[in-house]
Amino acid sequence: MSYRALVLSAALTFFLFTGDKYNIIFAEMINPKMSAELYLDGKEHESEIKQVIGDAYSSHNLSDDDVLIIGKIGLLITGRGCSRYEPLAVSYLTMICRERFVKYFYARVFLMDQTLRKIRDLINHYDEVCAHAHLI
């Protein structure tokens, strides 16, 4: 197995247990049609959006008709011209994927470091406590 495959395996093994997903939703219409900041009202509109893209933390008017709402587990682009933002949304998704890969990779490296430290401690103290031999 190549070095690259080993790195991916180490990171993605941890990733598989988390089940993280990020959704990008393009909708030509949203009802009711409002200004972006009104969707994050902390009431009914925001709770409906939260079901789809998680906790929404940012909303923007991209044009008079198009709105972008960014959430914890996805983003929503609405309006008749929403499809023209697809390349930008894919670039954003690529950045999110890379960020998560790095996060999970370093979490996995940290866990491996702890395990190796425990093994080194067991090896260094083998002659003191022979009962740990099966753990090595």
Q: Are 46 and 70 in contact (CB under 8 A)?
A: no
Return the pLDDT at 12: 64
| pLDDT confidence tier of residue 10, bands split at 50, 70 and 90 | low
Tell me how far apart the alpha carbons of residues 106 and 109 are, in angstroms, rounded to a whole number: 5
Tell me how far apart the alpha carbons of residues 50 and 23 are, in angstroms, rounded to a whole number: 12
Mean pLDDT (the chain, rounded): 83
Check pLDDT > 80 for residue 125: no
Nearest to 48 by CA among 35, 65, 31, 66: 31
pTM above 0.75, yes or no: no
Tell me how far apart the alpha carbons of residues 56 and 59 are, in angstroms, rounded to a whole number: 8
Return the pLDDT at 130: 65
Nearest to 102 by CA among 30, 17, 10: 10
Domain boundaries, the chain: 3-135
Check pLDDT > 70 for residue 5: yes
Residue 53 exposed, middle or buried by CB count within 10 Å (0-12, 13-18, 19+): buried
Tell me how far apart the alpha carbons of residues 104 and 75 are, in angstroms, rounded to a whole number: 22
